[in-house]
Amino acid sequence: MPQGAPTSPYLSNLVMKNFDDYIGEYCEKKNISYTRYSDDLTFSGNMDVQALKSKVQSFLDVMGFSLNEEKAKILRRNTKQIITGVVINEKINSSKNYRKKIRQEMYYIQKYGLDGHNIYTNQNIMFSSLMGKVRYCLFLDSTNKEFKTYEKRLKSMI
């Protein structure tokens, strides 16, 4: 399946529908939270990990797929839990490194101005990219005062 194509999520959902129904029902009976984003499966709760892994693998085998052991992880409560680039431990948030890069861009824009910091060939592309990153952080944590300030500053530059 072509990665990044507009049809990829639809095709993934179509292919995985039976799996989602089967595993979703199993997880509901076992009081396990199950989510899937494309081919990233996430299970949360108290569970027999080996039994769940066996159940998942057996159904994937029937479908002609296999579990990627290198990507499979068991994350405990006291470890940083990142799912599809989002930190999900106590509260959902973007990673510290992601926010640090935005802070750095905002610093250089404030210091040198939008034109002086323009690393893109088109100022609109740079502005849209940075505004999108700021709004993504606010989507994950709408109470973040620092990023609300960044959004206001960027809007004032339009």
Q: 99 and 64, same structural domain?
A: no
Taking only the tens place, the pLDDT of each residue in 72-92 is 777 666 666 777 677 776 677
Residue 149 lies in a domain: yes
Residues 6 or more apart whose Cβ sits within 8 Å of residue 53: 67, 72
> Rounded CA gap, 24 and 121, in Å?
47
User: Which residues have C-beta within 8 Å of that of residue 109, sequence separation ≥ 6?
Assistant: 117, 130, 157
pLDDT in tens, 105-123: 899 888 877 776 665 556 7
Residue numbers of the domain that contains 138: 94-156
Q: How many domains does the chain have?
A: 2
Residue 119 in domain: yes
Alpha helices, DSSP H, located in 31-156: 49-63, 96-116, 123-140, 145-156
- Pick from 154, 120, 110, 119: nearest CA to 135: 154
15 and 62 part of one domain: yes
Q: Which two tokens stand for residue 11?
A: 């095709």
Tally of CB atoms within 10 A around 41: 19
* Within a domain: 3: no
**Structural domain includes residue 80:** no
Establish if 82 belongs to a structural domain: no
- Region 131-158: mean pLDDT is 91
In a domain, 86, yes or no: no
Instruction: Look at residue 41 and tell me if it is in a domain.
Output: yes
